[in-house]
């Protein structure tokens, strides 16, 4: 076959988008509308019955958002995607298709603190029970499997510690257990790691971070790898059984290898409601066009800064998987050869107070609770994102009291190093 | 030929080349996949004929049901099979008894019978298995993109707004020949006993 295969940067610019059929507009228009007119009663009935391609209402589909969805599906190598109002909403909608009250899912203990909260508290109130496992002890995943297990959830690069997960090893556990592996790929982005190639069945993102990349819009997305057979064993009735709200339609039978994405949309998004605003979809799409360029710079800066910090006298330890000395160096070489991302933590010899002082003394780093911005960011997780966790949970999640987390931006790295140096007391 | 994956050019040539499609196992129930496909292909300008012996006397969206392939009064380009894999061989035998011979046998998602495929191919027919022509047409035209589905095609050309009865251009740049990184794994998972 002589067909050319477009590369990642080409997909980042083109996938999902083509000139607007009505106006010829080349940038993707912002279809800032709640609803779409029907051609006639038959057209309306076909759309409501999922028989025809077309838009009804922006809670379910929107043409601007659809470009974003196809773009990320293409970058991840999935069959389809569904955008949501935030990364948290993506996690909620994805798990809702899999979980019934009383079911369990296994999650890595090293997760974004907000996800730990969502799983521990909000999901608990739905009767979805999280069972924790440790990515540094892969046998803990196997031990956590029970007949009630419906999914396994990990982060590719964990927030805040920046550790790299052995995705293939966890995928093997999921495969043997007959459950899908969900990978939160927020910190890596598909530019650095494509989890589907390593065995993930579902990929979720907070688009709020590096994919959008400019710190201006919240968003989330669910990517369907198209790899999981939902009919096996009757474990996933949302996908395999007749749906009463669609007059007995069976999602997997009708939509084949993108049925998970369709279930997320026509059962999850439709009924739970956390749709992305078309304006945010436009902002996020614009960000994604420069993803390859930005990620190269983010990673180059992060590595230089991690190296600088690891020789600084005020610094106790730097946890950056891209350092040769990191215990995750081998995993980083395997899974993220282009760079280990730009979010990492380091601990200070001066303890909790040194962390507070560092944050106060910096002039270019912004003190805020986000990652994946063009700007460099810093936070003290123990007192902010992870403050609702107890001390043991904090440490397990990679957020000890003397630890600060940075998200390195795309500024000139010498300016960032100079700022850190002065703030650490030279 | 290998039926685990298909190059986009193979599917494109089929969908661009056929006009009359006989649908074996067409259902009058509007929640069945066959109904979805029947309706879509009809709206995209194909002449689709519903076959279902239990429905003779009724019609589907204005097209009378017929009992079997032999009862069709015009040459058929493609036979689209909505039957379980185990029931495909008799359909292929019937197809091969027709004159003129149809050019394509297409088996729907979940339907795969390699023996029947080999027999049809030996007679010069093209075969597609475990795929849906609605999904493939929607994908290659990018019409399916409205629902966030990865069309695995790109285009910098302005396309017309689709209206009923319009055939769409399927001539977009393909990505990975139309396969995803995951598609081989999906095939493997499906073929394993569950
Ligand atoms: C790894 C990871 N997953 C999920 C989320 C949640 O995303 P959002 O804030 O868009 O809901 C975040 C946010 O910080 C994150 O870092």
Each residue's pLDDT tens digit, A145-199: 999 999 999 999 998 889 999 999 999 999 999 999 999 999 999 999 999 999 9
B2 located within any domain: no
Degrees to nearest 5, angle at CA A63 with A59 and A68: 95
Please give the interface size between A and B, counted as residue pairs whose CB atoms are below 8 Å apart. Answer: 155
Decide if A196 and B138 are in contact by the 8 Å CB cutoff: no
Which residue ranges make up each domain of chain A? Answer: 32-288, 291-423
- The region of weakest confidence among B102-106, B147-151, B164-168 is B164-168
Give residue A96's pLDDT: 98
The response to whether residue A189 sits with its C-beta less than 6 Å from ligand 1 reads: no
Dump pLDDT digits (tens) for A195-251.
Answer: 999 999 999 999 999 999 999 999 999 999 999 999 988 999 999 999 998 889 999
Q: Whose CA is nearest to atom 8 of ligand 1?
A: A87
CATH of domain A291-423: 3.90.1150.10
Mutational pocket test of ligand 1: of A159, A193, A343, the residue with most ligand atoms within 8 Å of the beta carbon: A159
Give residue A14's pLDDT: 97
User: Which residues of chain B are within 8 Å of residue A197 when distances are taken between CB atoms?
Assistant: 181-182
B181: CATH: 3.40.50.720
Degrees to nearest 5, angle at CA B191 with A145 and B92: 155
Q: Which atom of ligand 1 is closest in space to residue A91's alpha carbon?
A: 4
B79 located within any domain: yes
Domain encompassing residue B59:
8-191
The architecture (CATH level 2) of A32-288 comes to: 3-Layer(aba) Sandwich (3.40)
The response to whether residue A115 sits with its C-beta less than 6 Å from ligand 1 reads: yes
B115 located within any domain: yes
Q: How confident is the model at residue B177 (pLDDT cuts 50, 70, 90)?
A: low
User: Which residues of chain A are within 8 Å of residue B8 when distances are taken between CB atoms?
Assistant: 3
Q: Which atom of ligand 1 is closest in space to residue A219's alpha carbon?
A: 10
CA proximity to A200, closest of B33, B102, B104, B181: B181
Q: How confident is the model at residue B194 (pLDDT cuts 50, 70, 90)?
A: very low
Please tell me whether the peptide bond between A160 and the residue prior to it is cis, using omega within 30 degrees of 0: yes
Q: Count structural domains, chain B.
A: 1
Angstroms from A394 CA to nearest CA on chain B: 36
């Amino acid at each position: 076959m002589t067909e050319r295969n477009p590369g990642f940067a080409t997909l980042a610019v083109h996938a999902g988008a083509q000139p607007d059929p009505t106006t010829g507009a080349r940038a993707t228009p912002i279809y800032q509308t709640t609803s779409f007119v029907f051609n006639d009663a038959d057209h309306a009935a076909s759309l409501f019955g999922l028989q025809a391609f077309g838009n009804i209402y922006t809670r379910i589909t929107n043409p601007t958002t659809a470009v974003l969805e196809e773009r990320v599906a293409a970058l991840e190598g999935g069959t389809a995607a569904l955008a949501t109002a935030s990364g948290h909403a993506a996690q909620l909608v994805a798990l809702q298709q899999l979980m019934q009250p009383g079911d369990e899912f296994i999650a890595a203990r090293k997760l974004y603190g907000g996800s730990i909260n969502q799983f521990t508290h909000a999901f608990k109130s739905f009767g979805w029970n999280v069972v924790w496992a440790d990515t540094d002890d892969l046998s803990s995943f196997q031990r956590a499997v029970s007949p009630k297990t419906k999914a396994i959830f990990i982060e590719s690069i964990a927030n805040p510690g920046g550790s790299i997960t052995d995705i293939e090893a966890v995928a093997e556990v999921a495969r043997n257990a007959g459950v899908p592996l969900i990978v939160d790929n927020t910190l890596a982005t598909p530019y650095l790691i494509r989890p589907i190639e390593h065995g993930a069945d579902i990929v979720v993102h907070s688009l709020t971070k590096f994919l959008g990349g400019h710190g201006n819009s919240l968003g989330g997305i669910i990517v369907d790898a198209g790899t999981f057979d939902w009919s096996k064993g009757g474990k996933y009735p949302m996908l395999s059984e007749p749906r009463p709200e669609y007059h007995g339609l069976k999602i997997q039978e009708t939509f084949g290898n993108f049925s998970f994405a369709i279930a997320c949309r026509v059962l999850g998004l439709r009924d739970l409601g956390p749709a992305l605003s078309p304006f945010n979809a436009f902002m996020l799409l614009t960000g994604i066009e420069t993803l390859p360029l930005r990620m190269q710079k983010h990673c180059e800066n992060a590595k230089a800064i991690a190296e600088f910090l690891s020789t600084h006298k005020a610094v106790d330890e730097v946890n950056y998987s891209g350092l040769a000395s990191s215990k995750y160096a081998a995993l980083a070489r395997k899974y993220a050869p282009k760079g280990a991302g730009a979010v990492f933590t380091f601990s200070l010899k001066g303890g909790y107070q040194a962390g507070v002082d560092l944050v106060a003394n910096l002039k270019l780093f912004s003190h805020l609770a986000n990652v994946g911005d063009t700007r460099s960011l810093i936070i003290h997780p123990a007192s902010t994102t992870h403050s609702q966790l107890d001390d043991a949970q904090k440490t397990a999640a990679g957020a000890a009291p003397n630890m600060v987390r940075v998200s390195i931006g795309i500024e000139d790295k010498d300016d960032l190093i100079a700022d850190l140096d002065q703030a650490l007391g030279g | 030929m290998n039926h685990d994956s298909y190059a986009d050019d193979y599917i494109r040539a089929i969908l661009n080349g056929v006009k009359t499609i006989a649908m074996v196992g067409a259902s009058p129930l509007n929640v069945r996949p066959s109904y979805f496909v029947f309706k879509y292909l009809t709206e995209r300008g194909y002449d689709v004929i519903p076959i279902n012996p239990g429905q003779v006397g009724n019609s589907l969206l204005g097209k009378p049901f017929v009992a079997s392939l032999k009862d069709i009064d015009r040459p058929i380009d493609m036979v689209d099979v909505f039957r379980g894999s185990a029931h495909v061989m008799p359909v292929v035998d019937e197809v091969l008894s027709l004159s003129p011979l149809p050019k394509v046998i297409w088996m729907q998602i979940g339907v795969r019978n390699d023996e029947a495929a080999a027999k049809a191919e030996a007679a010069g027919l093209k075969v597609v298995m475990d795929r849906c022509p609605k999904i493939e047409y929607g994908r290659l035209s990018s019409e399916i993109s409205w629902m966030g589905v990865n069309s695995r095609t790109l285009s910098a050309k302005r396309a017309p707004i689709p209206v009923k009865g319009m055939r769409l251009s399927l001539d977009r740049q393909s990505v990975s020949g139309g396969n995803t990184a995951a598609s081989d794994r999906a095939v493997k998972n499906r073929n394993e006993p569950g």
